[in-house]
Amino acid sequence: MAYIDDNNDLAAGKGKDPIGELDDELERLLKELGDPEHPKKESDKAPHGAPTANAEAESEDDHTDAAQSAPTAAYGDDPQPPKKHGKTVLIIVLCVILLGGIAFGGWKLFEWVSQRTATQSDKNISYELETFSDPEIGDVTVKKVEGALNTYDTDNLAKNDNGYYEYVENGKVTSEIGVDIAEYQGDVDFEKVKNSGVDFVVLRIGGRYYSEEGKMFADGRFDEYYEKATAAGLKVGAYFFSQATTAEEAVDEAKYVVKLLDGRKLQYPVAFDWEIIEDDEARTDNIGGSTITAMAKAFCDAVEKEGYRSMVYASTSLMLQSYDFETMKDYEFWLADYREFPIMYYDFAIWQYAKDGTVNGVDGTVDLNICFKPY
């Protein structure tokens, strides 16, 4: 039934045949409904929200039928969900996919960066933890850093006729004998030292006081000892007694050493001799292993930069318990261990095996050393 309101032409009565026009309209509608081969063209559709001819022709029953048939239209042979709802679902799906992709990509990037960083930081370094027992220290857990392990055979160690240790391989002596000397040993006859079978001497060049002020000082007889030892044909190295508390102070010590050397040549390295003060309060009390490692590295790097070889002097306990051999793998060590044989897990170039030795030409006692890798 056509809907007629007070505003259309039929209600106004403008001389037209309303019944005839209604019949024509009904006939046209019936023809469209009865001919499925001629669906409405897109151009015949009204804009969204505008009333159509069909809408004017619908009755309340038509609305009821349309409402009841809605489920069939929604889930039947030609499902067509509302466009607005479909776009919303599509946008949500795309957002989920996008966020998932970003998260996955971010995770893969994190893995790549982590692996690359680990590879760079561990380049040429591979290790695992290992525990061994030291008769004096007890059980010690260390990192098994490849290339930094002690490979010496103690069966190759023997004392010669003068009472000095030598290292013999294939019937040949491959080591050198040395002493280390500081100004408190007074007058030294380096000619006699050389003639007693000593090959090298490591001279104290200076140090730092362990008081709070931590002032550095030069060994008062280094210049004299250097000239006499060189004249006697001894190979010469130097060591600095450190009481640094930071890497920056260790660099200052290295610069001080270089200044005191004043261009003089050395056959043996410059050693960083950082020690724990056991019988007195010191500025170095409670310094941790990471700091000790950083200081040794900083000192050695600064010395090497100036053209001198470097080395780290350390006792067995300090070497095992404080130094990180991931970091110190490529640095040479001078080990102080006064037992019959050195019980050291890591590699070392020089072994200081006695602090009460005697050598012709030195009054009193002197430290005795063997260098397994002559310079």
pLDDT digits over 158-188, tens only?
Answer: 999 999 999 999 999 999 999 999 999 999 9
CA–CA gap between residue 243 and residue 215 (Å, rounded): 9
Contact 146, 140 (CB under 8 A): no
182: its two tokens? 């500081």
Type of residue at 342: P
Q: Is 18 exposed, middle or buried (0-12, 13-18, 19+ CB in 10 A)?
A: middle
70 half-sphere exposure, CB direction, 13 A CA radius: 8
**CATH topology (fold) of 143-371:** TIM Barrel (3.20.20)
Q: Across the strands, what pairs with 311? A: 271
Domain range list for the chain: 9-75, 143-371
pLDDT at residue number 50? 40
Helix residue ranges per DSSP H, 217-356 = 222-231, 247-261, 289-305, 316-321
Contacts of 3 (CB under 8 A, 6+ apart): 56, 57
Contact by Cβ (8 Å): 166, 173: yes
- Residue-wise DSSP of 153-172: -GGGEEE-TTS-EEEEETTE
| CA distances to 37, 39, 175 from 79, in Å | 20, 17, 93
Sequence-distant (≥ 6) Cβ neighbours of residue 233 within 8 angstroms: 194
pLDDT score for 97 = 76
Taking the C-alpha atoms of 352, 355, 360 and 361 in order, what is their torsion angle to the nearest 10 degrees?
100
C-alpha gyration radius of the chain: 47
Question: What pLDDT, on a 0 to 100 scale, did the predictor assign at position 31?
Answer: 62
- Output the pLDDT for position 94: 73
Q: Of 180, 245, 262, 247, whose CA–CA distance to 209 is shortest?
A: 245
pTM reported for the whole predicted model: 0.68
CB 158 within 8 A of CB 166: yes
pLDDT at position 33: 53
Predicted pLDDT of residue 132:
85
Residue numbers of the chain with a pLDDT score lower than 70 = 1-87, 89, 93, 95, 100-101, 103-127
**What's the pLDDT score for residue 32?**
56
Query: How far apart are the C-alpha atoms of 222 and 346, rounded to whole Å?
Result: 31
In which residue are the tokens 């072994």 written? 351
pLDDT on residue 56: 43
**End-to-end CA, the chain:** 117
Q: Tokens in use for 341?
A: 């044989």
Q: How far apart are CA 339 and CA 355, in angstroms?
A: 11
